[in-house]
Amino acid sequence: MTSQTDGTFDRTPLIAGNWKMNMDHVQGIALLQKLAWTLDDAKHDYARAEVAVFPPFTDLRSVQTLVDGDDLRVVYGAQDLSDQDSGAYTGDISGQFLAKLGCTYVLVGHSERRTIHGETDALCNAKIAAAHRHGLVPVLCVGEGLEVRQAGEHVAHTLEQLRGSIAGLDAQRVAELVVAYEPVWAIGTGEVAGPEDAQEMAAAIRAELASLYDDGTAAKTRVLYGGSVKSSNVGQILQGKDVDGALVGGASLDAEEFASIARFEQHLVTD
């Protein structure tokens, strides 16, 4: 991330926790309460780092009730949405429903959705459009697997996903978008993704947005790193000038660890 002369960041960092298929609604409430208390005790400045959680669909109403009732500063979103608004789509969840539940964000094209459910760039594009119809901010996930990485085609592959997923979007929509790079090649393979990988891909994504739109649009779009982020490495990862935050997986299920990640500035000097 880069900072202005007054110490503020060019783009507000976003630390997002993807709970995946973990935490029933009772567990989710307990986790979110502990997270909020931990951040409050640490006097976390939400203006300097936005904190979001992505619970399972079945937790969202409980999360909404807690956030509204206790006036929490943590925001939340959904892990997926349908490209359709209503109709005979058994098992799908409309963006309209998510908006009614107070969601700010929605994940689109997570690597697990692409790999397990075969989601394409075209479908991601339609889901982004659906998110926009209902005032949700899409967090578009892109990234490459091990074979692509080993072939040296990681940049081309990831940018192809990006282009296909944002096709037809105007500059304002892209500026509001969040892009999360996932190093799929380093998940469960024994390979290790480092801070230099995060910066390389974030810079490539930003350069592509500048090419497709303009420098101003690219400068406004937040780019997150979605690898195995922990409090022990977040400081190094976020030192990359084009990395604006993190999409955190397993570590987000530990309130104290996730709060420590959200307070990444304490790690910038020591890491």
Query: Does residue 44 carry a catalytic annotation?
Result: no
CB 254 within 8 A of CB 225: no
28 is in an annotated binding site: no
188 is in an annotated binding site: yes
Between the alpha carbon of residue 200 and those of residues 119, 197, 203, 238, the distances in Å are 25, 5, 5, 12
CB 242 within 8 A of CB 202: yes
249 is in an annotated binding site: yes
19 is in an annotated binding site: yes
Query: Does residue 182 carry a catalytic annotation?
Result: yes
* 201: nearest Cα among 232, 244, 252, 138: 244
Active-site residue, selected from the candidate residues 182, 208, 257, 267: 182
CB 116 within 8 A of CB 84: no
CA–CA distance, 115 with 215 (Å, rounded to integer):
32
69 is in an annotated binding site: no
Active-site residue, selected from the candidate residues 110, 144, 154, 208: 110
- Which residues neighbour 202 within 8 Å (Cβ) at sequence distance 6 or greater? 181, 223, 225, 240, 242, 243, 244
Annotated binding site: 18-20, 188, 228, 249-250
Annotated binding site for substrate: 18-20, 188, 228, 249-250
Residues carrying an active site annotation:
110, 182
